[in-house]
Amino acid sequence: MKKLLIMAAMLCASLPFAFAQDTSRVSVKLYGFVRNYLTFDSRKTYTVIGGEYNMLPYDEHVVDGVDLNAVPSLQMQALTSRFGLALTGPKLCGWASSGKLEGDFGGFGSTNTVLRLRLAYLKLNRGGSEFLVGQDWHPLSGDIMPDVLGMAAGAPFRPHSRTPQVRATQYWGAFGCTAALLWQLQYMNNGPKNASDSTSTASLDYANHALWPEAFLGLNLKAGGFYGQVGVDAQIIRPRTHAVVDGVTRKVDETVASLTPTLYAQYLGGLWSVKFRTLLAQNTSHLNQLNGYGVTAVNEDGSWSYAPLRASISYLNVAVGKTWRANLFLGYMKNLGAATDLHDFGTAGYLIYMKGGQDFTRLNSLYRIAPSVSYNVKAFNLGLEYEWTAATYGDLAANGSVLLNDNLHQVANHRVLALVKYNF
């Protein structure tokens, strides 16, 4: 860790003099693809980016014996067609420089046709050392993804976030270490946006007001076709800066601290690819996962105390082939609740802030099975994927988990996805 910090300081100090030593021009390579999805869903599901990014099915909403969420849908969209610039530049004091600028059309707006920044970073490499500044994949996401065809790339079982960061990686032979400081932008924590808000709203304020950036530390191993990592992600957020007490608005000091350990392993050899990740997730709504935190106490000064919700989340992906490629994705999530009971607000119940809001506070577990087959030749990709995602809902327990009683029930969505993609 000390060596990584020294390396970062030396790089920052050398930047003003670096370009004077190498006047080579930056080379630019255009890349990207045109991608069209045709998707069928058997019921109403929680999705983003115009429905292309599939999370999980909504619970039953029964009126007069009819489930109003049991409504199928069919759509075709090309919002996630992508373009990017891969940059290779001059050396900086012996460090090879490169960068990337990438976007698509799945951004924010009243319609999902807004240009969106995906990646924008500078990278320096020398020997076994790498230093990155800018917006890139979160270290828990990585740019090594399951070989699924769907836009969500394995989420919500795989952590999914691209975020501004400063990251350093150092290798000593097969062994390495990765350290990163991260800030939020497009993927945010949920929380009470207003002073006494019981609804769950995503905002940058919770992380920015805490002042402390999110931090990640991982130990890596590369050997032949094997890559493995054990790591931990640490985060502190500040849900509210003020509260209304007896009709008077007062400043409050509230924080939620969380630790998320992870294990990742993959093997790539010949026509085979095997990838596995597991996490004991705490408050990872900013990683597009279905957990968050809850209020555990109301203090005399009007502030609230909180506890992060915990979840066991894992996925396994196995693929074989090249021109014709078969893939199987398996995902599992179990809601473990908080380490302590939540505060009962009476008619308001328990206040929980998580991805998707109150619709998923009663989620007990989540499963996904997604087999697919694709044909890949030159610039073309054609694929067909079936995705079964089953959510088990029930009654909320005092600690934010779900009671194992007679109300426990499963709701499943069947998604069939066809992909046509042209790469350039």
Q: pLDDT tens, 310-368?
A: 999 999 999 999 999 999 999 999 999 999 999 999 988 999 999 988 889 999 999 99
**Cβ atoms of 236 and 256 closer than 8 Å:** yes
Residue 5 has pLDDT above 80, yes or no: no
Nearest to 280 by CA among 298, 267, 263, 266: 263
141 Cβ contact list (under 8 Å, min separation 6) = 158, 159, 160, 161, 162, 287
Give me the pLDDT at residue 24, please: 67
What is the C-alpha end-to-end distance of the chain, expressed in Å? 40
Rg (CA), the chain: 23
Percent of the chain with pLDDT strictly greater than 90: 81
Read off the tokens for 149.
């065809």
Give me the pLDDT at residue 358, please: 84
Read off the tokens for 247.
């009709």
Per-residue pLDDT of 323-335, as tens digits, reads 999 999 999 999 9
User: What torsion do the CA atoms of 281, 283, 285, 290 make, to the nearest 10 degrees?
Assistant: 60
d(CA 300, CA 298): 7
Sorted by where each starts, the structural domains of the chain and their CATH numbers stand as 2-423 (2.40.160.10)
DSSP state string for 136-182: EE-TTT-S-----SSTTTTTTTS---EEEEEEEEEEETTEEEEEEEE
**Cβ atoms of 393 and 374 closer than 8 Å:** no
Give me the pLDDT at residue 19, please: 43
Per-residue pLDDT of 145-187, as tens digits, reads 999 999 999 999 999 999 999 999 999 999 999 999 999 999 9
More confident residue, 107 or 254: 254
